[in-house]
Amino acid sequence: MDLEARGHSEHPEALRLWLRLLTCTQLIEKQVRTQLRERFDTTLPRFDLMSQLERSPDGLKMNELSRRMMVTGGNVTGITDQLVTEGLVERLPVEGDRRSFRIRLTPLGRQSFDDMARQHEAWIVQAFGSLNLAQIENLHQLLGMVKQQNSQVSPDSANNPPPEENP
């Protein structure tokens, strides 16, 4: 766990910050992936897709899911296929465009997601348990500036609208 050994520059502040950011994310992400696998026999991308749908009761189109999850369309098809097979999501027609679908959580999928989300939140609260509320909000605000900067220079920024903030 010494990713931060990568810092070696003469102006190392940004580099050190990046390595620490990466270390923190990997530590937490590894825990989340392990728990999702062991407790719910699922994966982070599957959980991610379901959580996108949880916020959109009317469903989302494939290309919208692809944009939000930051992966290409073929992958969304694959993950969606799995979840459809398990009865957790469904493809619904879009009136007026027979090429498109709305992907939506089924009642079973919503129940399943709610169970996972409750546990997931507890893991995350634990992960940030050493910070008080002011520190959490300070971090959130600073990372907001980082997010904005890197959304603008993202490789396909020409096609994508800027990232949306949620209330």
Q: Of 13 and 38, which CB lies nearer to DNA in the complex structure?
A: 38
Q: Which of 57, 96, 107, 129 binds a copy of itself (CB under 8 A)?
A: 129
Query: Judged by CB under 7 A, does residue 24 bind DNA?
Result: no
Query: Judged by CB under 7 A, does residue 32 bind DNA?
Result: no
The beta strands (E) that lie in the chain are given as 89-93, 101-105
Given the rule CB under 8 A, which of 72-80, 81-89, 95-103, 144-152 is the region that contacts a copy of itself? Answer: 144-152
In this structure, what are the phi and psi dihedrals at residue 10, rounded to the nearest 5 degrees? -90, -15
DSSP letters, 4-43, are GGG---SS-HHHHHHHHHHHHHHHHHHHHHHHHHHHHS--
Q: Binders of a copy of itself among 62-81, rule CB under 8 A?
A: 67-70
Query: Judged by CB under 7 A, does residue 167 bind DNA?
Result: no
Of 94, 152, 98, 116, nearest in space to 37 by CA: 116
Contacts with DNA by CB under 7 A lie at 30, 33, 43-46, 61-64, 69-81, 91, 94, 96-101
